[in-house]
Amino acid sequence: MRAVTRQALLALLVASPLACGGGGQATATERLWVSAVPTDAKAPISAFATTRYGDTKFLGAFFSGTLLRGSHDVFEWRDRGKGRAQLRFLQDGARVDIRLETCEPTTGFDHCLLVCGDPTGAVKYQSRKRWVVKRPGKRKPAALVLDAMAQLAQGDTQLASWLDVETE
C-alpha cells in the first residue's frame, strides 16, 4: 500500500454520528458512513464510523476533508432512543445532539441516513452492508478506525480503489 494511501486511510477511518428520511434499515453504530464517493484524491468528503467499547458504550470519529488532507474529531456516542443520540467530543467535552432518519440510498449503496445536527455540516450519509466496523477489543480508538477501514477495503474492491490514490 502506498504511503499516501495509508495516510488517507488513517484520516478517513478516524470519523462518526446519526441521521434523518426512508431506505434500508441499518444502525448508525458499528458501521462506516460516507457523504459521497470520492471522484479523485482531492474531492471533499465527510465520513464517520463508530464502534462498541465496553458493554454499552460507543466511540466514533468524524472525518472531513479529502483523501489527501482533512481533520477528524473523536467522540463518545450515547444513544438517546427514537432516532436520537448525543455526541461528546473527547478533545473539549463539547456535546452535540443529533437526530437520524433513514433515506433512499443511491446506486451502489445499501443504507442511507440523514443526520440532523452533524457538526461537519454534512446531512446525508450512505453505507454498504459489508461496511460493518468490528469491536476493537483493547486497541485505542484511532487504531480501531484505521484497522476497520483497512479490513473493509480488503473485501471491497471499489472502496480499495477509492483509497488507492496516486499524487502527481
> What's the confidence (pLDDT) of residue 19?
32
- Identity of the amino acid at 134: K
Q: What is the pLDDT of residues 152-162, one digit of tens each?
A: 777 777 777 76
Kindly list the domain boundaries of the chain, sorted by start residue.
3-161
C-alpha dist (Å) from residue 71 to 61, 65, 74, 109: 10, 6, 10, 25
DSSP 134: P
Closest residue by Cα to residue 109 from 47, 24, 168: 24
How confident is the model over 103-117, as a mean pLDDT? Answer: 94
> What's the confidence (pLDDT) of residue 85?
93
Residue 7 CB coordination number (10 Å): 15
Q: What is the pLDDT of residues 33-68, one digit of tens each?
A: 999 888 888 889 888 988 887 777 888 888 888 878
